[in-house]
Amino acid sequence: MRLLIANRGEIAVRIVRACRELGIESVAVYSDVDRTQPHVLAADYAVRIGPAPARESYLDQEAILAAARRVGAEAIHPGYGFLAENASFARAVEAAGLVWIGPPPEAIELLGSKTAARTLASQAGVPVVPGTPPLANPEEAAAFARQVGFPILLKAVGGGGGKGMRLVESEAGLAEAFARASSEGCAFFANARIYAEKAIRRPRHVEVQVLGDRFGNLVSIGERECSLQRRHQKVLEESPSVAVDAALRARLGEAARAVAQAAGYRSAGTVEFLLEEGGAFYFLEVNTRLQVEHPVTEMVYGIDLVQLMIREALGEPVPLRQEELVPRGHAIECRVYAEDPLRGFAPSPGTVQLLQRPAGPGVRVDSGVRSGSVVPLDYDPMLAKLLVWAEDRPAALRRLRRALSEYRVSGIATTLPLFRLLLDVPAFVRGELHTGLLDELLASGSVEALEAASDPAVEEVAVVAAACLAAREAERLPEDGFVVAEREGGAWRRAGRRLAQGRFPR
């Protein structure tokens, strides 16, 4: 079998690895700027799909389907981001006679509307935050706020990832916030409609992994704590949550399964909740795809979610039993971005001159870059995910400190200093988390602390690394942009491609 990965970066590399273990041939797609990126070099086949802008490459549905036809792919995995939650693309994949590795298009469409998902959850008996249907104007939002009290959240109907979301503390700033949220919703999701929710003060953000199949089997696979966020975007995740005991875990899992069953869900997905002190929780939304933070669940429950997604799409039942899904140990994930925390998290594009990844017991790095990789401005700035696992949270924190001390990146700025700083924040170490903790920390004037958490040793080798890179000679791929590493001698062919593309010194 041959599977095309409609994505790039670390998630594409992750899917290649799952395919290889399943004995499935993998197909990478790439834009011009990604020609020599690790996901291209790792796959068995690679096909050019367009220039750098995402709308002309990774968001071009016809280009991706044409690539699948050209190389004879039989299935498509969308990863996350780009077209992963696009119901029309899922339908186009199935109409082309290919296997769509993800939930049914109908479920994507239903749950992709935040207001429709809220209604579904309420009908399933799951508590939801007080909110509104789509609003026509700021005046309707003001009327809702007067009813439930400020603050409120304005949210894009088709939103996610913190886009199209504004916290409004008073009526004075409501009109401007409404306009900005609507504008972002239109820009990121082609949907300018806005709804409002009552803002829950200092909640935790806890999500439940679900996995279903076409035979009616549906399991919840524990929870992930995602409260460490910067401007509503997740930065660090862990499992299990220190705020969730076995009884609450069972209640959260039951609620997540109820929502998924009501939507006719199958494949992997995530049901997200806001959790208040005392154990009260409210449905937030459903992400109808693989999550960035899925590896923390994999490490704690000893499963491979990507392989399970593929096997389910090929008609196999989910092989997991709910009563056997008990967490083991503790896992933490840090999202490593090409952003400069010393300069307001400004983007930091450029060339990775030196990359030294941590290793050792209980350490995993899912990376989409290597030494010499060019990090463009065209896409999401996430470079890699650093994960650690240990027998409990204190041990995991110690392991994370060790792993961060080994992580070296030069040539671009990264968010690694932020994670080193967090390990010295008492509230984080104690597990006293809420969704505003990181923003409060950064607003308190932490630049000096971030500078102290930076690793000066990286700069000492930057000149040497630059000289090594300058000595490498990269050759162009064939003009037709079609690279093949056949099964017979595949490892040798892949090594030849890496050599030709500057992967090894001459």
Over the stretch 1-22, which tens digit does the pLDDT of each residue have? 999 999 999 999 999 999 999 9
Q: pLDDT over 70 for what percent of the chain?
A: 88
Kindly state the average pLDDT of the residues 304-322: 98
CATH of 204-338+346-459, one of 1.10.599.10, 3.40.50.300, 3.30.470.20, 3.40.50.720: 3.30.470.20
- How confident is the model at residue 352, as a pLDDT? 96
Phi, psi of 296 (to 5 degrees): -65, -35
User: What CATH number labels 130-198?
Assistant: 3.30.1490.20
Please enumerate in sequence order all residues whose Cβ is within 8 A of that of 4, keeping only pairs 6 or more positions apart, or say none: 27, 29, 64, 67, 68, 71, 73, 75, 76, 77
- Mapping DSSP to helix (H, G, I), strand (E, B) and coil, where does residue 267 land? strand
As beta bridge partners, residue 282 has 274
Domain 2-101, CATH class in plain words: alpha beta
Q: Which residues are catalytic?
A: 289
- pLDDT category of residue 506 using cuts at 50, 70 and 90: very low
- How confident is the model at residue 478, as a pLDDT? 53
What digits encode the pLDDT tens for the residues 266-289? 999 999 999 999 899 999 999 999
What digits encode the pLDDT tens for the residues 454-504? 765 554 444 444 445 555 544 445 555 666 554 444 555 555 555 555 443
Domain ranges of the chain: 2-101, 130-198, 204-338+346-459
Q: Fold identical between 2-101 and 204-338+346-459? A: no
Structure tokens at 113: 């509307």
Report how far apart the first and last C-alpha atoms of the chain are (Å, whole number): 35
Residue type at 388 in one-letter notation: V
H or E stretch at 404:
helix 393-406
Q: What gap in Å lies between CA 117 and CA 284, rounded to an integer? A: 9
Kindly state the average pLDDT of the residues 369-388: 96
Judging by beta carbons within 10 Å of its beta carbon (0-12, 13-18, 19+), is residue 449 exposed, middle or buried?
middle
pTM of the shown model: 0.85
Cβ of 398: how many Cβ atoms within 10 Å?
Answer: 13
- How confident is the model at residue 462, as a pLDDT? 47
